[in-house]
Amino acid sequence: MEYERRERRGGYGRREGRGFGPRFPPKPVEIGKEYDVEIAETSRRGEGIARIKGLVCFIPNTKPGDHVKIRVTRISRRFCEAEVVGKGEAKAEAETEETAGEAEEARETEETAEGETETE
C-alpha cells in the first residue's frame, strides 16, 4: 500500500494566506485625537470603559454615566487608553443655559409688549 505524501505548509493546521494569527481591522481612533464619550461601565481595575465605534477605551478616574472629553494616549490591538481632557457635558450645559436665558428674555419682551398693548 502506497501513501501519498502531502506537503505541509504552516504546520498545525494553518491555512494558506493567513500569516501569523488573525488580522485586526484598522482602529477608529488616532493617538492624540480628542473624542466626546459616555462612560458605560467600570473595569476590574476601576477605570471607566467607553466604546468608540466598537473599540474599547479605558479611561481612569471616571465612573459610569459620566460624559467626558478624552484624548487617546495609547492604542493596542483590542483596546485603547485615554485621559480625561474635560467634561463633555459642560458645553451642552452652557449652550442650554444660553438658550434658556434667551427664551426668558423673549418671554419678558412678549409680556412687556402685551402689557403695553393692553394699556393703550
Higher-scoring residue by pLDDT: 111, 42: 42
**What's residue 50's pLDDT?**
97
Q: Rounded distance, CA 42 to CA 38, Å?
A: 12
**What pLDDT, in 10s, does the model give residues 56-99?**
999 999 999 999 999 999 999 999 999 999 988 544 444 334 44
Tell me the per-residue pLDDT of 4-18, one tens digit each, with 9 for 90 and over. Answer: 666 655 556 555 555
Residue 75's nearest CA partner among 88, 58, 54 is 58
What's the whole-number mean pLDDT along residues 102-106? 48
Is the CB of residue 43 less than 8 Å from the CB of residue 57?
no
For residue 116, pLDDT over 70 is answered with no
The candidate with the shortest Cα–Cα distance to 51, out of 86, 59, 62, is 59
Angle at 61 between CA 55 and CA 67, to 5 degrees: 60
- Condensed to tens digits (0 to 9), the pLDDT of residues 19-48 reads 666 777 888 999 999 999 999 999 999 999
pLDDT over 50 at 109, yes or no: no
Rounded Cα–Cα distance for residues 113 and 119 (Å): 10
Would you say the pTM of this structure is higher than 0.85? no
All three cell numbers of 113, joined, read 409688549
What one-character-per-residue DSSP string does 39-74 give? --EE-TTS-EEEEETTEEEEETT--TT-EEEEEEEE
